[in-house]
Structure 1
Amino acid sequence: MTKPAGPPGPLDDRDRPSFPLDAWYAAAWDHAVGRDLHPVRVADLPVVLYRKLDGTAVALADSCWHRLVPLSSGRLEGDDVACGYHGIRYDGDGRATFMPAQQTINPSACVRSYPVVERYRFVWIWPGDPARADPDLIPDMHWNDDPEWAGDGQTIRFAADYRLIVDNLMDLTHEAFVHASTLSQNEINTERLDVRHEGGIVTATKWMLGVTPPPFWSRQLQHAFPGWSGPVDRWQIIRFEAPCTVTIDVGVAKAGTGAPEGDRSQGVANRILNTMTPATRDTTHYFWAIARDYHLRDQGITTRLREGVAKVFTEDQAMITAQQRALDANPGHEFYNLNIDAGSMWARRAIDAMIDAETQRVGVARAWTGAGR
């Protein structure tokens, strides 16, 4: 196991951006964007989302060039957004197409248009340098729309720094305390955690062999194998991709049937999909979903799993927002690491590496917008 190497330093360093701009961030579920104006804050930038008549998603800066009135308070006219204050219209590229009481359109009249990609049921936007917006950099969350998996998810608004949520997901030992009634078992705190890291990817793996499954997992096993009970081999494989996406491969199989060697035929698996979009420095849009690999057409299971995980994440939300309030009340406080923090430590280093590289390219002032400060 990779051991932590001391505290990462103050978390409230206000002279340093808390997130990169050169990254894909989920701005909304795809079903939430339609023929209306959908305002959202992404990377401390006001953005308005909508669909053109052909269904293409558009993301524009939510501020009119003329008097900075939010465009989201206006209306759609065909594929253009009309400002609700003076009626200036902008096309999907952000260029003004109409001005009131004049024939000539000021050539400087435009608002920023952000690169948009729809993938894995999310609308992703790139708030940084548009020349660097490579769709291949979107984190893999294919389980969310893979026909061999079934599931659903929600969005939670956190009054907390997105990195605190990353910390929480990279260390699942908290299940023994925060989620004692659903996911807890003693082995979570006794079995070895293996942490590996390379570039912006951090993987933390834990196996618990021959254990009694907690309620969340015993119910799923009984759905897949009616009437079965007994010890299981349980796994948690957490994969972080900088700056803010965590996919968790979790499951249980009948003990001794080969799951650690790759044979999961006698078990059930879930993918817990998480991508945390910073709205501001200390508020976050938390998009999550749970997908499973059995009984794919059973909507009842889908609903029960979604609602069960929603309850679990509500418990996390209470803990993390309390933590954020404590950090706000103790500026300059440093976190100290235990062995269980190795995954979150390397995740934070990967985030910092992205921020440092971006700062070197565009300068401390963040030449693109100055956001994220």
Structure 2
Amino acid sequence: MFPKNAWYIACTSDEIAGEPLGRTLCGQRVALYRGHGGKVAAVEDFCPHRGAALSLGRVVDGNLMCGYHGLVMGCDGKVVSMPMQRVGGFPCIRSYPVAERHGFVWLWPGDARLADEGSIPALAWSDDPEWAFGGGLYHIQCDYRLMVDNLMDLTHEAYVHVGSIGQNEIDASPVKTRMEGETVVTSRIMESVIAPPFWQEAMRANGLDPEALVDRWQISRFTAPGQVLIDVGVALAGKGGFEAAPEHQASAVVVDFMTPETESSHWYFWGMARRFKPADVALTEAIREGQGRIFSQDLDVLEAQQRNLQTFPDRRLLALNIDAGGVQARRLIDRLVQAEKTMAATAGTPETAVA
């Protein structure tokens, strides 16, 4: 259901500032912690002595000590020591390639030989003082592909997000879907409309008249296995829309990374990056809180959808033109999964490399 030979966000950097963190990622229980020199490490969350969860232990001299009987595990998955015991013959456990980038910890759950840190997505705003970013994390009880569907078709905003980012003109504006290499792009443009409440506040914050007519855009870009970046914003009508000068617009990038937990649950890392008033910390927090409330509305819808799909697994779902982006995204995911299965069958790759 999900590719494993890929980089996924495992957690934010501050989630493992102190104690180890246990998290299920792509069906695998992983213990994440900071080892020698504060470098992030990830191993199977399984003590080879009695099967205890290593994530319930603590970090000692850069290694992970099991909290059950004191077995000490190295970052490479090899047993280091255990009080009063010989450990030379203890089996190793799995360690995972990890890297810390952009305030996130990235993990490669598949074949470690294929992990290339150069393929971790580049996020332009992460180290640029001209950008501000605020975000959060939701644990959602639904297939991560349902969230991809949700983000690639923003028609639902007119119904789910009334009073924030929803408006009637969304339904009246056609959606266009195209491929840019291996990226699926859906776009919707609304011309000469009144901005919805969320964007009126953004206009006010950027010194624009919130009651003025605007051109609004939504451009979603999906990159497998679970990244959706959405260019969103408004510009004073007739000033160039997406290409308008900064003083005529309020815009941002909605950042979405989905990491599967199981086939019916996932970790959703969300946020918004903007280029207007980046030094305004209060504005960043206000936008983060507003965005968090908006996304929480999606959570209820998607979890109920997952329950329906599990209850009625044989019901045929309808695909309309507004669903084209999600359909294309799923095709990309399916191709990656099939390629991994073919590789495993041909080269004898361990089954843990595919889902």
What TM-score do the two structures reach when normalised by structure 1? 0.90
Report the counterpart of residue 139 of structure 1 in structure 2. 121
Structure 1: gaps of 5 or more residues:
1-17
Pair 136,335 (structure 1): closer, same or farther in 2 beyond 3 Å: farther
How many residue pairs were aligned? 355
- Deviation, 1:123, is 0.3
Specify the code of the residue in structure 2 equivalent to 1:341. D
Specify the code of the residue in structure 2 equivalent to 1:117. A
Pair 294,260 (structure 1): closer, same or farther in 2 beyond 3 Å: closer
- Alignment partner of 2:37: what SS? coil
Separation in 2 of the partners of 1:215 and 1:145? Answer: 30
1:200–1:347 contact (8 Å) kept in structure 2: no
What TM-score do the two structures reach when normalised by structure 2? 0.94
Separation in 2 of the partners of 1:176 and 1:187? Answer: 8
**In structure 1, which of residues 259, 272, 275 is the aligned counterpart of residue 241 of structure 2?**
259
* Residue correspondence of structure 1 range 1-373 to structure 2 within 5 A: 18-103=1-86, 105-106=88-89, 109-198=91-180, 200-227=182-209, 229-261=211-243, 263-363=245-345, 367-370=349-352
Aligned CA-pair RMSD: 2.0
Structure 2: gaps of 5 or more residues:
none
Separation in 1 of the partners of 2:69 and 2:242? Answer: 64
Separation in 2 of the partners of 1:369 and 1:36? Answer: 31
- Deviation, 1:368, is 3.5
Pair 165,360 (structure 1): closer, same or farther in 2 beyond 3 Å: same
- Deviation, 1:263, is 4.0
- Alignment partner of 2:42: what SS? strand
RCO greater where, 1 or 2, for CA within 8 Å and sep 6 or more?
1
Q: Which moved more, 1:339-348 or 1:109-118?
A: 109-118
Separation in 1 of the partners of 2:330 and 2:7? Answer: 17
Separation in 1 of the partners of 2:210 and 2:137? Answer: 34
Report the counterpart of residue 11 of structure 1 in structure 2. none
Pair 198,88 (structure 1): closer, same or farther in 2 beyond 3 Å: same
- Deviation, 1:39, is 0.6
Could you tell me the percent identity over the aligned residues?
41
Q: Deviations over 1:188-232 (max 9, x none)?
A: 112222211255311111111111111111111111125563100
Where has structure 1 moved over 3 Å in runs of 4 or more?
Answer: 99-104, 226-229, 260-265, 366-373
Q: Which moved more, 1:166-175 or 1:259-268?
A: 259-268
Specify the code of the residue in structure 2 equivalent to 1:297. A
- Deviation, 1:151, is 2.2
- Deviation, 1:259, is 2.5
- Deviation, 1:158, is 0.3
- Alignment partner of 1:256: what SS? coil
Pair 335,367 (structure 1): closer, same or farther in 2 beyond 3 Å: farther
Pair 242,90 (structure 1): closer, same or farther in 2 beyond 3 Å: same
- Deviation, 1:264, is 4.4
Separation in 2 of the partners of 1:370 and 1:227? Answer: 55
